[in-house]
Structure 1
């Protein structure tokens, strides 16, 4: 009898205890975070080439006159503004030349005043018929010659004045000093490169293409760019420029890759890799950790908008890679796939999608 009573009362007490703890309401489940990624082009079916981030515009800066460098005002890596002084030459020679031309201008002006007065005097005498016409014409010619001489020396003075200003090398535009090829005390010739300026603005990736596969590439070809500082993200780009001749030492062809996206966090000198697809369509790929299988049928977990619930998506896969697996069917580039902890997920579960930096991912609703 006592045993029967206990078997009845104990479950009833447990039910009462649970009801008291929850006040009769079900306990809400917490939404767990889920690391998500978007499918990327399969790297195993693409060629990769190392590169370096460069500025699209890299003018070589040089003095317009020759001379001895007396001052170097910037170093490699310095940010400069347009018209900022970068280096100076010894100005003594150009100043002396400028003074000589100033003296010639003064002499030409004095000569012009003399021949003008002579011409005016002969003109009055001609009116009174006290000199011949040929004498007046001679005075007129001397006056015109004096005018031409003054115009000539003034032009030469302007040239000398400009050359005095050329003794100071200034930045042609805003940018960063990428290379320096001069030291104080060095004598440089006119037009000899002194600095390389990486102008502000667009950034590109400089790569070298092999000679044996050069015919496979063309200007405008779509590529993917990966920065070493951001190995889990690829940026779309295109081949903007290809050198028509090979480097005589490496026997490779230089090519420049422009980013297709507007703002890319690429800094000058950063290392990068450029992925160029083989002929044909390149499938998407996901990390190996994102793939699950049941009864030999592979699938991935896709986070769907707008409530961030999980959908079990069957996929057809290709040959396994070292870190990823190609997805031949079942995914689109805009899908967000769970990349970790897929063994404990279930259909319809609500999650909080985050990226590798633990930032919340905003899912775009499909139209």
Structure 2
């Protein structure tokens, strides 16, 4: 009984081993992974990503005005927002000190004029005495020299009087152009120094938009052929603008370039300080292909996209060159001709010649 049991167990073990040996020789079926992806059919479009810059309405000319002499302000004759004319008084300094200096200069002129008159009389007397041999030629020359000195002192005193008269006039600050007072930085009773800016007058005529440009968009703005200006206060209305000024260096804080966009035909609706936006609709100026940033595969030295073969459903890498980028879009300047099906999602999970399943497409 025990022998029969052993024989049965041995037969069962041999059968299992044979079965395992037979299974190991059978080939294992390999299933290729088909990865679902999102795609887009690319096409030529205008070379732009709709570059928009925010700024504010400013005057083309702004005068930072200050007194040409120091003193205490005794009167403020305008307010912020006041419309002024050229030559209109804005602020007044206490003229007491300048008036005293002007009076002293006038007295010096009178004294110098008297000295000139006396020197002329002395010269005439000396010349008359010389004709009768009662005076020497040296004495006459000395009187002539004294007259020249007196006349020079008179000219100096007259110039000093004119200088003090100008200083007296400088105690009244006047507008240098027609415009509107955009800021006042002084009050009555305040003591200001000569040259200190206290009033800003914005000219009435031209208007422009002050914006800041990142370094990656400077060349595009230079090449823009048309600019559109819009303000929040007047939705749906636009004005044509042109690039007038671009700073050669960046701001030390924002690291952006300051630019001024001149508005071609401004109207009274554009008030100073309004929030404005500048649209550059053709910054690249040529046709290009626009793709989502998610479609770009960044390599070590190049950038590429996955192009799907319409017949086989397999992907192949295509090297591309990129242009401008904004938000979630980028322009492809070369590498695609238009009409290709490009993968826009799942690009980093793909391998060359991999089978894909199109989960969605669009134009």
Conserved 8 A contact 1:43-1:275: no
Distance 1:274 1:119, change over 3 A: same
Let me know the Cα RMSD of the aligned residues: 2.3
Within the candidate set 164, 167, 185, 2:168 is matched to 164
Secondary structure of 1:245's counterpart equals: strand
Which of 159, 176, 180 pairs up with 1:176? 180
Which residue pairs with 1:279 in the alignment? 284
After superposition, where does 1:245-260 map in structure 2 within 5 Å? 245-260=249-264
Secondary structure of the corresponding residue to residue 249 of structure 2: coil
Shift of 1:93: 1.1
The equivalent residue for 1:3 is none
Matches of residues 30-41 of structure 1 in structure 2 within 5 Å? none
Q: Which of 213, 219, 225 does residue 217 from structure 2 map onto?
A: 213
Counterpart of 1:56 (choices 60, 67, 72) is 60
Larger radius of gyration: 2
Q: How does 1:229-240 map to 2 (within 5 A)?
A: 229-240=233-244
1:327 maps to what in 2? none
CA-CA distance at 1:263 after TM superposition? 4.7
**Aligned with residue 78 of structure 1, among 77, 82, 103:** 82
1:266-323 Cα distance to aligned partner (Å, 9 max, x none):
122222110123312489xxxxxxxxxxxxxxxxxxxxxxxxxxxxxxxxxxxxxxxx
Report the alpha carbon displacement of residue 256 of structure 1 after superposing the two structures with TM: 0.7
DSSP 3-state at the match of 2:114: helix
243-252 or 156-165: bigger deviation: 243-252
Could you say which structure has the greater relative contact order, defined with CA pairs below 8 angstroms and 6 or more residues apart? Answer: 2
CA–CA distance in structure 1, aligned partners of residues 61 and 223 of structure 2: 18
User: What is the TM-score of this pair, normalised by structure 2?
Assistant: 0.63
| Distance (whole Å) between structure 2 residues aligned to residue 87 and residue 161 of structure 1 | 18
What stretches of structure 1 move > 4 A for 4+ residues in a row?
none
Distance 1:181 1:278, change over 3 A: same
1:88 aligns with 2:88: no
Q: After the TM superposition, which of the residue ranges 219-228 and 56-65 deviates more from structure 2?
A: 219-228
What's 1:103 paired with?
107
Distance 2:47 2:216 in 1: 21
Alignment partner, residue 137 of structure 2: 133
Give TM-score, length-normalised by structure 1.
Answer: 0.62
Task: Say which of 112, 117, 121 aligns to 2:116.
Answer: 112
Q: Tell me, in whole angstroms, the C-alpha distance in 1 between the residues paired with 2:236 and 2:197.
A: 39
1:45 touches 1:282 (CA, 8 Å); kept in 2? no
Counterpart-to-counterpart distance in 1, 2:196 and 2:225 = 36
Query: In structure 1, how many angstroms separate the alpha carbons of the residues matched to 2:286 and 2:242?
Result: 16
**Aligned 8 A contact 1:77 1:177 in 2:** yes
**In structure 2, what is the equivalent of residue 360 of structure 1?**
none
Which consecutive residues of structure 1, in runs of 5 or more, have no partner in the other structure? 1-41, 284-367
SS at match of 2:79: coil
| Structure 1 residue 43: Cα displacement | 12
Alignment partner of 1:218: what SS? Answer: helix
